[in-house]
Every structure is written in C-alpha cells, then in structure tokens.
Amino acid sequence: MVSENQKQMINSNTDKKNKRPEPKNMNAVSGAMPVRIKFSKNGDLIYISHLDLNRTMQRIIIRAGIPIWYSEGFNPQPKLVFSSPLSIGCASDCEYMDIKLVKEIDFQEALKRLNECAPEGLVFHEMYAQKSKFTEIAFAEYEIVISDSGDSEKSELAQKINELFSKPVYLMKRSKSGENETDICRFINRISAVSEENLIKISCVLCADSANYLNPEYIVTALKNKFGILHGDIIKEWYTITRKNLLKSDGETSFI
C-alpha cells in the first residue's frame, strides 16, 4: 500500500531514477531515495542477532519519524538492508544500513533524532546518499583483545601467535557445503599480535565477501586449541572482538 504522500513523492522524483543505479537487494520503487546510514554497535547490543537488529532498527526509525519506504504487499514493513553480517558477540565500529526515503529530509537532523531514539550501545554516525554497493565489500578489519589469566609471558605469547598464522592453520570450518577441515589462513589477509600490559591485542583483516567469509571467532578458536588459553575461569578470562573497518578488494581502501 502506498499512501498519497508517497505517490506524490515517487512521481516528482522519477527523473532522479535514471541517474542513480538501483542498488541490489532493494525492490525497485521508482524515485524513493536510497540513503546509507553508518552506525556502531557496542555494549550489550553485541548479543543480539541479525533478525533482532533488523526489528530494533525498524522501531528506531519509526520512533525517529524517518519517512522510510515500506515494502509492498499484505503486511508492509519498513525495508532495511544491512552490510555484511556480524556474528553474535561481536562489536562493531562500522556497520552500514541502506534504507529508502519517501520524502527529502535533513540528514543531520535525522541523525540527531535517530540517536535520541536508540538504546545505549547503538550510535548512528553518518547518513548520506548511497555511492556504492555492498558487494564491493571484500574484507573486514577486526581487533581482538584477550585477557588470559594463565602464567605464560604475554609478549612471548604474542610472538607465538604471529608465528602460528605464518603457516597453514587447519580448523573445522562451516561453509555452505558442510563442515570441513580448512586452512583458515586462506581467509586471512593479514594478522599481527602485540602484548599490552596483561592483554593480548590482535589486529587482523579477514575475508568478508559473501562467498568467502571468515568469522573472527575462528581466530580465537585457533588460539584456544593451540595454546590452551581461555579455558579457565569464565569471569576472569575473556575476550572481545570489534570490527573496526570494512575494506574493498585491495584490502586497503575503506568501504563507504
């Protein structure tokens, strides 16, 4: 169902349609303006699934009064498309969500309203007209921080981690064809570990396109298996994973 308001909007915008290519995944609605929103997801929000995030976003957008385009059909829903999926337990500084607007709005004002309507841990950073497709995302950069209460000297451990990933590392990895023994290094663009006080900090760039996607949890699993860390007290030993950036196929240029 399209309201009168939307119809007007759609008609007056038909000329724009020819200039802007329709991004994939978005059901074509002539003229509704595609915009991209960059947000970060931290704190307790890391525990919610993709589906939950989608529902949460729909409600935030309605609360903020953003004139979003709804899907057609019997049960119209605000239409959102997200960039590459983030596994439960992962924080992120750079997530992207595409929506369509049925009315022009001031982006700065809209961002402010979105942030007012968001739960703690969810921050909206930028809103702009889409310039690229999500299919251009090839890699994701992560920071993994590990607190291990074991005795091992942390700088030595960091050194050992760097050595580990210089050779093939075989793990059971899930893929579309089932679970297979896989060399996860095939999916690692680069990785380096350092020790900082009592923590290990790992920075890595992993494949993140839809055909080759490495969940950063595999890096932690490899360390658990090889070095026997993170097996002790569940309260004192912990690790965090934060997605820092999304990169294009050259492994350097940031996706926007």
Partner 1 sequence: MRDNISGILKSVQKPARYTGGEFGQIVKDKAKIKARFAFCFPDTYEIGMSNLGIRILYGVLNQAEDIWCERAYMPWVDMEEQLVKNKIPLFAHESGDSLRDFDFVGFTLQYELCYTNVLKMLELAGIPLFSAERGEDMPIIIGGGPCSYNAEPIADFFDIFSIGEGEEALPELMRLYISMKENGTYSKASFLREASHLEGFYVPSLYDVAYNNDGTIAYYKPKFDDVPAKIKKRIISDMDKAYFPEKLVMPYIETVHDRIMLEVYRGCIRGCRFCQAGMVYRPVREKSPDVLSNQAKVLYENTGYNEISLSSLSISDYSCLTELTDNLLSWTDEAKINLSLPSLRADSFTKELMDKISTVRTTSLTFAPEAGTQRLRDAINKNVTEEDLLNAVRVAFSAGKNQVKLYFMNGLPTETDEDIEGIALTAKHVIDEFYRTPDRNKSKPVSVTVSVACFIPKPFTPFQWEPQCSMEELEVKQKHLNEKITDRKIKHNYHDAKVSRIEAVFARGDRRLSVALAEANRRDMKFDSWDEFFNYDKWLEVFSECGIDPAFYANREIGEDEILPWDIIDCGVTKEFLLRERHKSRESKTTCNCKEGCSACGANNLGGNFTWCPKTKNK
| Interface residues toward partner 1, by CB under 8 A | 1, 3, 43-45, 47-49, 51-53, 55-56, 58-63, 65, 70, 74-77, 88-89, 117-121, 234-235, 237-238, 240
Complex with partner 1: residue 168 or 232, whichever CB lies closer: 232
Question: Which of 18, 75 has the CB closer to partner 1?
Answer: 75
Measured from the CB of residue 225, what is the shortest distance to partner 1 in angstroms? 17
Nearer Cβ to partner 1 (103/248): 103
The tokens for 179 are 């679970």
Whole-number Cα distances in Å, 156 to 17, 152, 153: 58, 8, 5
**Backbone CA torsion sign across 43, 47, 50, 55:** negative
Closest approach of Cβ 211 to partner 1, in Å?
27
Residue 138 vs 219, nearer CB to partner 1:
219
Backbone angles phi and psi of 34, in degrees to 5 = -80, 125
- The CA R_g of the chain, rounded to the nearest whole Å, is 21
CA distance linking residue 179 with residue 186, whole number of Å: 16
Min dist CB 248 to partner 1, Å, is: 31
Among 175, 203, 179, 174, residue whose Cα is nearest residue 189: 203
CB of 152 to partner 1, least distance (A): 19
